[in-house]
Amino acid sequence: MYKGALVSKSFFNFGHARNLPRFVPLKLYLLYYTYMDEITAKELRDRLAHNSKIQLVDVREPEEFEICNLGGELIPMGELPKQAGRIRRDIPVVVICHHGFRSAQAINYLSQRLGYDNLLNLKGGIHAWATQVDPDMATY
């Protein structure tokens, strides 16, 4: 079983997210994840290819970012409260993690607590990018 896997019918395991509860009630996770704007890996590829103004924010840990990344800002989950000022409000911001779960948590925090309204979750995370857009990208 990989980190970030569903471990019971009522809790979700966010694996290696630092400074956050390891297990989050599934209903709460679904509430966060269901009502947010998303972008697929292929849609993001197309936007980047057309030089659309877009900021990429990766909320994984540095060791994960070293394995594979799309560039952009690395702001690990535990650093969001201190580093949120690096996230732009004037252009679309795509938030990235491994499979899209931590980025959903980050988007919830940024929108609910700090008033961001320009955030998109990369559906399926960097793993979706690697499988759907760049099969040569390293995976973990």
- What is the mean pLDDT for each group of 10 consecutive residues in the chain (140 residues)? 38 47 58 76 97 96 98 96 97 98 94 95 98 97
97 is catalytic: yes
Of the candidates 97, 126, 128, 130, the residue annotated as catalytic is 97
Q: What gap in Å lies between CA 96 and CA 120, rounded to an integer?
A: 9
Reported pTM: 0.77
- Domains annotated on the chain, with CATH: 37-132 (3.40.250.10)
pLDDT score, position 33: 54
Q: What gap in Å lies between CA 58 and CA 55, rounded to an integer?
A: 10
pLDDT score, position 1: 32
Helix (H, G, I), strand (E, B) or coil at 7: coil
